[in-house]
Structure 1
């Protein structure tokens, strides 16, 4: 029965997506063993639990140590209905099973080709501390970055300061949102800038803010003038674009004349390179072609 369930998960058709997955380093599980059975149990229950939650979030454990599996799922805060959230989490489990086969741990950042359609985050692991809200806030084990290779036209220092100000305002709003730890902000600049920030809602306001500020600190003077970019870790994520990629803005702001300058240190840029496929730090665009994220220090 277990094998049939996992086979059905693998055979379900995937919509065209842009997905990043990071296969964990926690070892592999034995086929048809207890760990696989516990993972299958979570794959069958967590999508519905997340979609039925007012926070669009769920965390659960299946089984007992040493075969316990811990998982969490978070849908983006602007999902319009429960079905879409459930389907996204279910597809993320399917994607993890297909691209990280037999891995005890995996993280999936699932996004759709249509930027107006929200995505979701899924992570699972056999680590007993995996679901601790304060754990893994400073590590880079689930870090993923993607940047548009084009630059915004204009004075670089002004654009960079505006992007940094926008992301800071968005992170503050997300941390203050006690329901979903989610926020969207639009900056009336030239061009208009759009941003989103989100944390898992089990984080405190302080931990959410700290998680987001760490990611914003990775947006340096070079990456902040890109036409768009996103940074994910399991517990929080930020994104900015020059087009509206969410349902509606929760706040509008104007750039200030004394916006803080972004950091000037080195950062890792993730460019999309065709033809190579890996299970770690990859983007896959189905129905188009396979891409890999290649780190380049600048």
Structure 2
């Protein structure tokens, strides 16, 4: 009888694995995103009526295929809607989830652009076409903070990365752009993962989005028992318990045949007895999901790549060297309330020292060879860069696997914060913005001309420009910077890293970079600062598809003042505005030879009225992020060493 009970339980377990169907989603969403309204958008009656019409038909249309995209109206009333369900849930569960989400997104967000995510579905609507700007913007549901920590975060981080890499590869080649699977975590445990993209994007865009989301997932949640990162174009998730359905097509004829087969097989198993199970040979595995942890660690990095000795760093006599306990106390044990930002190599926390001084502490990833290289290079190279327009590295701390970098604290965070928030943007008058532009220019000039060695930043963008209490601009994040020799002007790479929208065309398309690549990035930021608009999310589709094109059109028409941020209308000097727009357009010319050097830019910014050369048509780039995962790709031998530091101390 005991044997029969054991086999019955075993049979029921196998059946539940095969026919597991997830419950219907509840009314509480994972996350709702209602960004600030765009200046040229209006949530008026035409828009609302068209939105309600599309949402009303969304559940039925999405339940059939798991995806739906549609639009209605024109002009200010035009609205685009897309909905997505997980392929591992049935049409009924998909329809129910979309129906709930349609009601909730209307009640929670009266804006012209919104997203809502549930376990099994998501809905996005906007006044602009979704294909116009594929920008990754990951969000972390509150549920991530409620998970208990795992016993071995290092092991989890390694196994999770391998699992997400495998699932990403499977999803980008599948018609459903979806994949789910598991990897062995220990002799008794597995980690289960799921990745998915919306079906309206290309395989390359899907891969880019999933790389970014997987990197964020590892940063936020690899030490926990589960986590989710959601975005408009993709989402990723993992748990220690299986949360997805192994079969996605419902109980059709094939499944009914399987059900009958399982019943017969169960009867046969009962007659054979438990001795059959005892005689079963030990399973031999060869797949990635069951590789030994030691093998995974060996594949991740060579042992010598993971070592940094304190003796290598002792010569830094003018730097703070702090023990782990002091930094734990300063950051309230790396509390989430003190979190300032995060990236592929670690998280940055605000800290307060016993003497009251504020610092920013970057806690590097514990099993990342990039993080180790960043730690070494920040201390041996970046620490030597001292300029009022560069963020200073103050010191370091190391204890076992813990590697921490200490920066000066920047009270006003990043320039990106001001450009993204109309309320904060209104606080910057023309003089403040002009000083920020001049500060960035001087910082780049130091890197290109005055520092030894010469450094090309390669990832200059508003989020990497920090602002101190006096709104002095300081360039940060040298994770993608490259060293140039004194006589070197240009280098090539097969590993293009950075952010589209700020990358020079010769770098984005051909892998060629130089000081002129940084000049291009500077030009984009300059135009963003004076217009109050971001190139990476430009929506003025009637006249121009990018901020650079918009600036070019207005300049050609002699209407530069229309390019100005409306908040500056009371404080701008017209001559300075025209000259600054012209400098920005000179910096973003498609041909690097036509762009000025930073020496010339600083002179032009400070010399007052001057005769400037006429800019040619700029490169019309749009915004899309390249995730830090691309750093794992090999680089050509013709380039110098990479410095690695991806998180800014904000």
Question: TM-score, structure 2 length as denominator?
Answer: 0.34
Q: Map Cα deviations across residues 270-296 of structure 1 (whole Å, 9 max, x no partner).
A: xxxxxxxxxxxxxxxxxxxxxxxxxxx
Matched, 1:29 2:43: yes
For 1:151, what is the secondary structure of its paired residue?
coil
**CA contact under 8 A between 2:80 and 2:126: conserved in structure 1?**
yes
> Is this contact kept in 2: 1:227–1:241, CA < 8 A?
yes
Aligned counterpart for 2:116 among listed residues 94, 108, 115: 108
CA contact (8 A) 2:167 2:194 kept: yes
Equivalent in the alignment of 1:121? 122
Query: What residue is the counterpart of 1:294 in the other structure?
Result: none
Q: Distance in 1 between matches of 2:93 and 2:218?
A: 34
For 1:174, the equivalent position in structure 2 comes to 171
Cα offsets for 1:159-190 (capped at 9, x unmatched): 2111111111111111111x210000111222
Offset, 1:263: 4.1
Q: Distance in 2 between matches of 1:212 and 1:264?
A: 17
Alpha-carbon displacement from aligned partner over 1:184-213 (angstroms, at most 9, x marks no partner): 011122231000000012222221111100
Change (3 A) 1:259 1:75: farther
Deviations 1:8-52 (A, max 9, x none): xxxxxx94434311113236523xx11111011101122222112
2:347 counterpart residue number = 266
Secondary structure at the aligned position of 1:237 is classed as strand
- More relative contact order in 1 or in 2 (CA 8 Å, sep 6+)? 1
Q: Any conservation in 2 of the 1:23–1:106 contact (CA below 8 Å)?
A: yes
- Indicate whether 1:97 and 2:120 are aligned: no
- Where structure 2 has 5 or more consecutive residues not aligned to the other structure, the ranges are 1-24, 249-286, 302-342, 350-648
Q: Kindly indicate whether the alpha-carbon contact (under 8 Å) linking 1:50 and 1:85 is maintained by their aligned counterparts in 2.
A: yes
Q: Give the direction of change, closer, same or farther, for the CA distance of 1:99–1:252 in structure 2 (3 Å limit).
A: farther
Q: For 1:1-298, list aligned pairs within 5 A.
A: 15-26=26-37, 29-30=43-44, 33-53=45-65, 56-80=66-90, 82-100=91-109, 102-111=110-119, 119-127=120-128, 130-132=129-131, 135-138=133-136, 140=137, 143-146=139-142, 147=144, 148-154=146-152, 156-177=153-174, 179-190=175-186, 191-220=189-218, 223-248=221-246, 253-255=289-291, 256-257=295-296, 258-260=298-300, 263-266=344-347
Mapped partners of 1:110, 1:95: distance in 2: 11
Question: Secondary structure of the residue that 1:219 maps to in structure 2?
Answer: helix
Q: Show structure 1 runs of 5+ residues with no match.
A: 1-13, 112-118, 269-296
**Which one has the bigger strand percentage?**
1
Matched residue of 2:112: which SS?
Answer: coil
1:284 aligns with none
Q: Is the 8 A contact 1:185 1:249 kept in 2?
A: no
Distance 1:221 1:121, change over 3 A: closer
* Cα distance in 2 for residues equivalent to 1:42 and 1:16: 20
Contact residue 229 and residue 237 of structure 2 kept, 8 A: yes
Preserved CA contact (<8 Å) 2:197 2:233: yes
* Comparing 18-27 and 224-233, the one that deviates more: 18-27
Q: TM-score, normalised by structure 1?
A: 0.71
Counterpart-to-counterpart distance in 1, 2:68 and 2:30: 20
Taking only aligned residues, the RMSD between alpha carbons, in angstroms, comes to 2.8
Q: How many residues align?
A: 237
Q: Distance in 1 between matches of 2:185 and 2:147?
A: 21
Is the 1:193–1:241 Cα contact (8 Å) retained in structure 2?
yes
> CA distance change for structure 1 residues 18 and 97 in 2, over 3 Å: closer, same or farther?
closer
Bigger Rg, structure 1 or 2: 2
Distance 1:16 1:34, change over 3 A: closer
| Deviation by residue 1:105-139 (Cα, 9 ceiling, x = unmatched) | 2100023xxxxxxx101000112xx321x72333x
The 2-side partners of 1:226 and 1:131 are apart by 33
Distance in 2, Cα, partners of 1:18 & 1:49? 21
CA distance in 2, matches of 1:221, 1:69: 35
Contact 2:217 2:227 in 1 (8 A): no
Whole-angstrom CA distance in 1 between matches of 2:234 and 2:86 = 11
Secondary structure of 1:217's aligned partner = helix
Q: Hey, what's the Cα distance between the residues in 2 that align with 1:259 and 1:108?
A: 38
Q: Distance in 1 between matches of 2:63 and 2:220?
A: 38
Counterparts of 2:160 and 2:245, CA distance in 1: 20
